[in-house]
Homo-oligomer: A and B are copies of this chain.
């Protein structure tokens, strides 16, 4: 299939009767080349169908124009959206993205980070459920700019971009309050920290007073949502609105309301977080709070591009993404 040797810059040079140096310069425009020479070289390039070998170029320039994107599960719709946003901004300047899937396994994470360093990626975005600076230490040591998504704090050489879950919890709660709800329940997961805990924190903050017995802990799943909603509905004074830690849990909560022969939002309003695709498709369509993952990806791309262009070796950033309410029918 491969018709012998690939054509190289030396072939173009020979055929055009110039040196490789000149060919390189007509390509880059980094130094003047006479009009005549330029035209001749150009036409030989076309004739031979030559394009510079990126690998050779990378070895020489020490830049690969490659960005590593390491995620726990590319199948979780949040990450493809992030990838899309990242591509939106880095494709134009010529970067490509190398994808890695870790399943959240520390071993796979270490392996992937190491391999990406070995491949001399120009930058790295590392997303994890609980990302820490230690996870990307080898990349930082190699001088590769990295942004951590979903982490808690910036560190030397590491920018951190995360959803503002506290703000999200607060926003959702205030949205409900503005619509006249006073007794608002919350179905969350097992105790712990991270995004779920922050969402509850925001809820408490918006409410001012700590709601008594209105926070229920279940699994992070549809079944968990169903169980949680049942408990809330069985209360002497059930809440008139309930916040669910994510959309999947909210969908489970919807199931429970339907099973009881009640109506959403007339009998209970239900609200989720994340805005997964299904949120718009269930019935009633779910009102939820979104962190706009594609925009997060774009933002990550911009930060990285800034680091790559080295415009001011500024101190590590921590950016929190403002959430917004996606208003639909369930609340």
Contact = CB atoms under 8 A, between A and B. Distances in A.
A99 interface: yes
19 contacts: A1-B156, A51-B118, A52-B118, A53-B118, A54-B119, A55-B58, A74-B87, A75-B84, A77-B80, A80-B80, A97-B99, A98-B99, A248-B281, A251-B281, A276-B277, A277-B277, A278-B282, A281-B282, A282-B283
A75 B80 contact: yes
A236 interface: no
A54 B294 CA distance: 31
A79 interface: yes
B2 A143 contact: yes
Interface string A261-284: 000000000000000111001110
> Can you tell how many copies of this chain the complex includes?
2
Contacts of A80: 74-75, 77, 79-80
A44 interface: no
Nearest to A96: B98
Contacts of A73: 84
Interface in A285-321: 294
